[in-house]
Structure 1
């Protein structure tokens, strides 16, 4: 008997389908709200950004705003991913002007919050893990590319980062008005990436180690694209690992409650009222020495009081051990905070060096201005001196030449007039003289 094609495909799909369990500590956006009402943070996630921290709303995280440009934002999971078989579902939306630019990066790297932060794949240094980049590569309408690094390649100084991609596919993602789904699948047999329900690329040679952190970062250009993240949901087929991850907070709360119950035990009296027993209170009441008349009673009283002291010491030791555990946890938290503060201090040191350099440049500019003013004043005085000297000499020369020139000019004019008068007299004389006829 041959089954219909659609029914056979359905049976095969059901046979391959495995139960998936949600990892709460690595997921957000699967409920009605991303964060609790009134909170400015996502549980089990950290927000980073330059120069501003991403804006957190009830149903989305705005990594890069519509304006201004050149913004960076990121969201990182605090806890690492340990299962080998997992599915990560990301929904994002990109909107902006016609020629807007920017990129979205989906990370699964070791210690990503400190190694990557809010960088993109083009500005990141050495990292260990996977990076998926969504941008308008080579003028395309949209492209998703995958990058791997084992910690030996520094991407920010690489001459051509684009050639390091191991897989890619083209798809449109800008100004769609709806979220776009990116789904990552990892198992012991293969790794695949799906975009909007269709396969983008897959490989059976990729194995990502455990202990890496999920993160999403975005960077905008001068004409910015706004990248919004609606959810990051991580599923696994291993129920035990999912339960251990999901119930870790509950177990911590139960341990704290048990510790409180150990410190303060509840006793119900005859009247039904609840009485709190202080473990450091004296259980045996004080008694007068005259009431103990026999050695047996004295031994019994001493025995009971030694037992009471032993109980008190046990309670003290339990409290000390509990306080030691709390101190270790706080020490670990303080160490993490100190590491973050050291990272910020290194940036402050760079700012201090830059401030010193600016001060040096300012001092050099001031000295250069004073030197230029002195040189200009000296040049002005020198030019003034030379001009005055030359002007006086020129005036004397002109005056000397002017005197002799006037006398000669007068003599020339008078002489020419006399010569003309003589010539005119001779002409008249000849004209009036009698004519001789032959």
Structure 2
């Protein structure tokens, strides 16, 4: 009996020894999506609430999308996850749509957040300035005063410890980690944004070509983010507008069995070891006193010139009248 059992057991053990191991690329599957940090259809829970999520501003929930802002001026909207994230290696995939009537001028844009303080309305694409955490910003507003060497829409990332100001007028280029141009407006098919944070490396990718595959926008190493922060997406319009629709957010735990023992990141301060070379922040030129005096002098000279022309014209007219009288005598 023991001989027969051994005969069956040996092939089984050999089969296990030759079975393939799961690779990191295969590990990120639908089975590891974190439901408490994900937002998928159908959105409705009890009444008008959605489990695990809060809303802010002008956000409107429909059956097919969550509209953060409509294509109207000067509105803000946001959705915020109620549950802090304690996953250290993660990937957030966002399905979205930005569309509007504007052909050449439109704005302002939307932003993904992983921050310490959620549900805080403000001037940075609907969320607060001087935030603590990570922001990935999709800026569509291209009518700026400052110099730029990129087009729009433009996706960039910023890590903040609560002391940095996002300079909206200059796309935040003096504090950004990196960025890329992404023409995601008014497309007829689905568009996606991926924010991947693994082993202190931030990788932002996009799928805006309807190929069902992500294309890397940028990768930055040396990014330190704590655990226990909150996910959110906000959007805003100003003098220009767009509709900003959020269709889904899917958070994956991409930790793998071969990862080292994870460090305690509960109390670390967000930081980044790399920033793009900053562009000088030059204030918009203001009219000087000299230019004002120049305008006054030009105005005076213009008035004198007009009066001179009128005076000379009057003399010429009088002289012509005198000559006409002499002809009749």
Partners of 1:168 and 1:12 lie apart in 2 by 36
Shift of 1:159: 8.6
State the partner residue of 2:109.
103
Q: How far did residue 161 of structure 1 move? A: 3.2
The answer to whether structure 1 residue 222 and structure 2 residue 243 are counterparts is no
1:207 corresponds to 2:224: yes
1:45 aligned residue: 53
Q: Check whether the contact 2:27–2:256 (CA below 8 A) recurs between aligned residues.
A: no
Match of 1:180 in 2: 191
* Native 8 Å contact 2:126 2:235 kept in 1: no
Contact 2:108–2:139, Cα closer than 8 Å, also in 1: yes
Cα displacement string for residues 304-338 of structure 1 (whole angstroms, at most 9, x for unaligned residues): xxxxxxxxxxxxxxxxxxxxxxxxxxxxxxxxxxx
**Would the aligned equivalents of 1:19 and 1:237 in 2 still touch at CA under 8 Å?**
yes
1:22-37 mapped onto 2 (5 Å cutoff): 22-29=33-40, 32-36=41-45
Alpha-carbon spacing, 1:137–1:70, altered in 2? closer, same or farther (3 Å): closer
In the alignment, which of 154, 172, 175 is matched to residue 164 of structure 1?
175
Are the counterparts in 2 of residues 71 and 219 from structure 1 also a CA contact under 8 Å? yes
* Cα deviation code 1:225-252 (max 9, x no counterpart): 0000001111103599xxxxxxxxxxxx
Structure with the larger helix share:
1
* CA apart distance, 1:39: 2.6
1:311 corresponds in structure 2 to: none
In the alignment, which residue of structure 1 is the partner of 2:65?
Answer: 60
Query: How much does 1:69 deviate?
Result: 1.2
Distance 2:171 2:108 in 1: 18
Look at both structures and tell me which one has the larger radius of gyration over its CA atoms: 1
Q: Secondary structure at the match of 1:73?
A: strand
1:280-299 deviation per Cα after TM superposition (whole angstroms, max 9, x unaligned): xxxxxxxxxxxxxxxxxxxx
**Alpha-carbon distance, 1:19 to partner:** 4.2
Label 1:123 to 1:17 Cα distance change in 2 as closer, same or farther (>3 A): closer
Partner of residue 80, structure 1: 84
2:27 maps to 18
Closer, same or farther in 2 for the Cα pair 1:43/1:198, shift >3 Å? same
Q: 1:69 to 1:137 in 2, by over 3 A?
A: closer
Q: Aligned pair count? A: 221
* Equivalent residues of 1:141, 1:171 under 8 A apart: yes
Q: Residues of 2 paired with 1:157 and 1:184: CA distance?
A: 22
Contact 1:72 1:119 in 2 (8 A): no
Task: Report the 3-state secondary structure (helix = DSSP H, G, I; strand = E; otherwise coil) of the residue aligned with 1:40.
Answer: coil
Q: Deviations over 1:352-410 (max 9, x none)?
A: xxxxxxxxxxxxxxxxxxxxxxxxxxxxxxxxxxxxxxxxxxxxxxxxxxxxxxxxxxx
How far apart are residue 86 of structure 1 and its match?
Answer: 0.8
TM, length-normalised to structure 1 = 0.46
Once the two structures are TM-superposed, the CA of residue 43 in structure 1 deviates from its matched residue by 1.1
Q: How far apart in 2 are the matches of 1:226 and 1:110?
A: 27
Are the equivalent residues in 2 in contact too, given 1:119–1:217 (CA < 8 A)?
no
Identify the structure with bigger relative contact order (alpha carbons < 8 Å, sequence gap 6+): 2
Conserved 8 A contact 1:69-1:222: yes
Distance 1:16 1:177, change over 3 A: closer
Q: Is the 8 A contact 2:158 2:175 kept in 1?
A: yes
Is 1:89–2:93 an aligned residue pair? yes
